[in-house]
Amino acid sequence: MLRIHRTALLLACGLAFAAGPAQALQVVVTHMDKNADGSTTYQFAVKTAEGESLTPGSDFVTVYNFGAMVEGSAKSPEGWSFASKEFGETPTWNGYPVVAPVDIPGLSNLTWSVSRPVAGGSEIDGFSATTRSSKTMDGEYTAQVTREQPAAGDASAKQTKQAIIGHLPTPSYLAH
């Protein structure tokens, strides 16, 4: 039953990911690898929408409440840095959070930040982290991105920040 549920979740995420151009940044689980020691490695991809970019020093992606994370297991693609904090980095505006993800104290949050620009319409894979949890649940992610907005009455564009919140399968942090 769990295997069927997990497969259905991955299929739904995969279909949503492949269905067409993103309207906003998406973080998806591309697959989960069951390891010989009983742990599971989650493979993630990030897809940016047209007109949206990721700027070094300000833009990032955070996956919240990644239960039973194996220390040192997170991997990042080239041009990205990783941090795991008890309280995940959340998009803000003038110091105030602009989205409200559930962030449970004592659980790992996975934050990937860009160290070189990422253009709109890009798909980046190579993000991963390993957990000792064998169950999944509906988890959350947030992202802060840079969006090109046409200026009113002007042909030039201006850059604004956009906050995104979404759902994806994550390791369960509930008692087994």
> What is the pTM (predicted TM-score) of this model?
0.83
Q: Which residues make Cβ contacts (< 8 Å) with residue 154, sequence separation at least 6?
A: none
* Residues 6+ away with beta carbon under 8 Å from 130: 35, 39, 40, 41, 42, 69, 70, 73, 74
How many other CB atoms are there within 10 angstroms of residue 69's CB atom? Answer: 21
Instruction: Determine the straight-line distance between the first and last CA of the chain, rounded to whole angstroms.
Output: 15
Q: How would you label 24-51 residue by residue, b for 16+ Cβ within 10 Å and e otherwise?
A: bbbbbbeebeeeeeebbbbbbbbbbbee
Quickly tell me which residue has 């803000």 as its tokens.
92
Tell me the domains of the chain and their CATH numbers: 2-171 (2.60.40)
What does each of the 176 residues of the chain score in pLDDT, given as a tens digit? Answer: 445 444 444 433 433 333 344 478 999 999 999 999 999 999 999 999 999 999 999 999 999 999 999 999 999 999 999 999 999 999 999 999 999 999 999 999 999 999 999 999 999 999 999 999 999 999 999 999 999 876 666 656 778 899 999 999 999 988 54
The model's pLDDT over 77-86, given as tens digits with 9 standing for 90+, comes to 999 999 999 9
